[in-house]
Amino acid sequence: MPYMRVPDSLNEITLSWLNEALHSKLSLIDASVTSCTAKMISEGQGFMSQVARLELGYDKEPEHLPRTVIIKMPS
């Protein structure tokens, strides 16, 4: 499996990156991410890295896809 670069910040998380990440892990899906809202959850909590919750929207109603995911990025 080819290496997939992990974003260094929330600004680097794009819809294109999210779709590539989901489609590479879940090859049978036919939905695409069309929106993403991010909220940092690690600020002031003593984490050594950046942790955020992403709320995802799709172009189709996903049966088995997450509505939210947690992403951990290097600090």
The string of pLDDT tens digits covering residues 11-35 is 889 999 999 888 877 766 788 899 9
Q: Per-residue pLDDT for 1 more than 60?
A: no
Residue 72: pLDDT band by 50, 70, 90 thresholds? confident
How far is the first Cα of the chain from the last one, in angstroms, to the nearest whole number?
26
Average pLDDT, the chain: 82
What pLDDT, on the 0 to 100 scale, is given for residue 37?
94
What pLDDT, on the 0 to 100 scale, is given for residue 2?
63
Number of residues that make up the chain? 75
What pLDDT, on the 0 to 100 scale, is given for residue 21?
85
Report d(CA 68, CA 41) in Å as an integer: 13
Task: Provide the token pair at 56.
Answer: 């995802």
CB of 40 closer than 8 Å to CB of 51: yes
Report d(CA 11, CA 38) in Å as an integer: 10
